[in-house]
Amino acid sequence: MAQERERGITIQSAAVTFDWKGYRVNLIDTPGHVDFTLEVERCLRVLDGAVAVFDASAGVEAQTLTVWRQADKHKIPRICFLNKMDKTGASFNYAVESIREKLKAKPLLLQLPIGEAKTFKGVVDVVSKEKLLWNSSSVDGKDFERKPLLEMSDPKLLKETTEARNALIEQVADLDDEFADLVLGEFSENFDLIPAEKLQTAIHRVTLAQTAVPVLCGSALKNKGVQPLLDAITMYLPSPEERNYEFLQWYKDDLCALAFKVLHDKQRGPLVFLRIYSGMIKPQLAIHNINGNCTERISRLLLPFADQHVEIPSLTAGNIALTVGLKHTATGDTIVSSKSSALAAARRAGREGEKKHGQNSEAERLLLAGVEIPEPVFFCTIEPPSVAKQPDLDHALKCLQREDPSLKVRLDPDSGQTVLCGMGELHIEIIHDRIKREYGLETYLGPLQVAYRETILNSVCASDTLDRTLGDKRHLVTIELEAKPIETSSVTPVIEYAEGVSEDILKASQEAIENGIHSACLQGPLLGSPIQDVAITLHSLIIHPGTSSTMISACVSRCVQKALKKADKQVLEPLMNLEVTVTRDYLSPVLADLAQRRGNIQEIQTRQDNRVVIGFVPLAEIMGYSTVLRTLTSGSATFAVELSHYEAMNPQDQSTLLNRRSGLT
């Protein structure tokens, strides 16, 4: 994407497919920025293994923790790659230590760097005791030589490597019984004799069991260390056949795939990324979407290579495909070959389910677990350049929402604005930029208008008379009513009639009266916000014969407004439920900041090493909170908000708000 090239960051996950030494690899590059957590979530959902890339000078950063936890949740085996070994300040030992401490993982050092920062020129393969040196004149890192370490040429390096290899063997033997038997049996005298293949298979088993993570290093900018990383991926990470998915047994060899991402292409329409778990996919194939309960046809099948796509005649299980022609499929949908195949699988699952434990819903077990979508934390309004462009904007937002389920769009009924809800400022900024570039619409982002409400604090009576002659008709209405506050929360006014009001008048003009009351309560006397928690009692009503219903409504409405103006008025503001997860070190600045935002802390819980602050904060104070919170906590805290209820503002805040609205401050 143009935005990615400008900013130098990943925003959307991109897929490439390539072959390496006889293996087919489907690689997905995911973003690391906290605003695009959903991209990571939906890709981890369909992958078999992961390479976690660290900056060797920074070690484990805040977002690394988040992504690591996501991988734990999906039980993904992974390899760590310490990148930027040639950057000033890079430290192999520091980075490994931070993996051990912060991620609570056991690093298996399969490589040692030769030199660090400016002096980095290659790596030592600990398993095979070879050194790999990159040619300094080669630009793309293709030229490197592999030499065995010899006592004569590198005595110091050989000693270090032997120690590292012995430590590695002990670590693996602790975690893998089969390897431990081998080590204690044949090779207990001399670890040097253990063949590299035996050690590699043991590391493969330990990685799959997720009891430890292999660590490699290099510099991606110069392509140093990338070839051994690819070898390690094919050697230690699982192939699709080694991942055991419970649902596959019901499908036998029928097609079963999960749609995990949708992209919109100007020419081809929606492109859907599918991970194929079983069976095979071909163009012109009719498929059945279990979630949407609809049948669609795949018109073309493509293999993704970043922004180029290659058309292919078929694709088998374990691969990632790009399909053209699926109009209704969205992220998280399960795709099968036909409805009957789904029913057959359901029957198999049902029989199995009865054997194990009573019947649980068949359809549910057939659906592959979808993708959990995080709640939005950042809100702002979006306006088209003119009313005529509103349908175009709606279409653009609809397409973007389908691509990115973490973007929510809603219409605010109170202010009539289109509200964008996203994962952070950068997320919304990118969406805004994409609407401009891809859909050619100049939109305006505005701060969220807070939808206040109003109420009254005491009961008041008012009377009004309307006397008009229009043409030869006289319209005359005299009314007396009372407005009073009520305890129960009610958005619309509660309407009561006193005994003195005659039944006949009510029959004829009840609708007009109620319309008048409702329209009066849409705009309060203080801010013009809707009135709530109010009861209106009609005491007397005299209507001259021939008076039109519009006049009755107008009179009632005017009288209600009069009563509301007389009463003591109160502004109600929306309060948000807020939950902040923060480490102990940053707890006090977060609490201090919430106090400034008129926050009301309910409780502080402990969750592992973190503190969870739970409380209420006014919506008006939450603008831009995601950015402030990340700044305060160096990006380590996360938070979630949702609308809780409306609450009365205190007198100082209310007068500040009224002065600001009337332009006095």
Rg of the chain in Å (alpha carbons): 33
For 453, 619, 631, 635, the CA distances from 577, given in Å and listed in that order, are 18, 9, 21, 21
- Which helix H or strand E contains 456, and what residues bound it? strand 453-456
Does the annotation flag 135 for ligand binding?
no
What pLDDT does residue 354 have?
61
Tokens of 65: 């923790």
DSSP-derived pairing of the beta strands 50-55 and 78-83: parallel
Cβ-count burial 591-613 (b if 16+ within 10 Å, e if not): bebbeebbbeeeeeeeeeebbeb
What pLDDT does residue 665 have?
64
Does the annotation flag 432 for ligand binding?
no
Does the annotation flag 31 for ligand binding?
yes
Overall pTM surpassing 0.75 (yes/no): no
What pLDDT does residue 359 have?
43
Nearest to 37 by CA among 428, 435, 373: 373
CA distance 189 to 630: 54
What pLDDT does residue 369 have?
67
Cβ contact 520:562 at 8 Å: no
If you write DSSP's letter for every residue of 259-321 in order, what string do you get?
EEEEEEETTTEEEEEEEEEESEE-TT-EEEETTTTEEEE--EEEEEETTEEEE-S-EETT-EE
Cβ-count burial 172-197 (b if 16+ within 10 Å, e if not): bbebbeebbebbeeeeeeebeebeee
Q: Write out 376-407 in H/E/C secondary structure.
A: CCEEEEEECCCHHHHHHHHHHHHHHHHHCCCC
What pLDDT does residue 366 have?
61
Does the annotation flag 600 for ligand binding?
no
Assign 29 to helix, strand or coil. Answer: strand
If you write DSSP's letter for every residue of 112-142 in order, what string do you get?
EEES-GGG--EEEETTTTEEEEE-TT-SSS-
Q: Alpha carbon 204 to chain centroid distance?
A: 32
Phi, psi for residue 547 in degrees, rounded to 5: -75, 135
Interval 146-162: pLDDT, tens? 899 888 888 899 999 99
Interval 110-157: pLDDT, tens? 999 998 888 888 899 999 989 999 887 777 788 888 899 888 888 899
What length is written for the chain? 665
Q: Alpha carbon 580 to chain centroid distance?
A: 16
- Helix, strand, coil shares of the chain as percentages rounded to 5? 35, 30, 35
Q: DSSP letter for 237, please.
A: S
Does the annotation flag 29 for ligand binding?
yes
The amino acid at residue 513 is I
What pLDDT does residue 448 have?
67
Phi, psi for residue 277 in degrees, rounded to 5: -95, -35
- Which helix H or strand E contains 594, and what residues bound it? helix 587-596
Does the annotation flag 333 for ligand binding?
no
Beta bridge partners, 196, equal: none
Name the one residue in this structure whose structure tokens are 């919109």. Answer: 264
Does the annotation flag 30 for ligand binding?
yes
| pLDDT < 50 regions, the chain | 358-360
- Cα dihedral 389/390/393/395 (nearest 10): -110
Does the annotation flag 33 for ligand binding?
yes
Cβ contact 236:203 at 8 Å: yes
Full set of structural domains in the chain with CATH: 49-236 (3.40.50.300), 247-366 (2.40.30.10), 378-451 (3.30.70.870), 454-567 (3.30.230.10), 571-662 (3.30.70.240)
Q: DSSP alpha helices (H): ranges in 387-533?
A: 390-403, 425-439, 503-520
Cβ contact 572:647 at 8 Å: yes
Tokens of 651: 């007198």
CA distance 286 to 304: 21
Does the annotation flag 507 for ligand binding?
no
Phi, psi for residue 455 in degrees, rounded to 5: -150, 175
CA distance 161 to 31: 35
Name the one residue in this structure whose structure tokens are 């760590």. Answer: 80
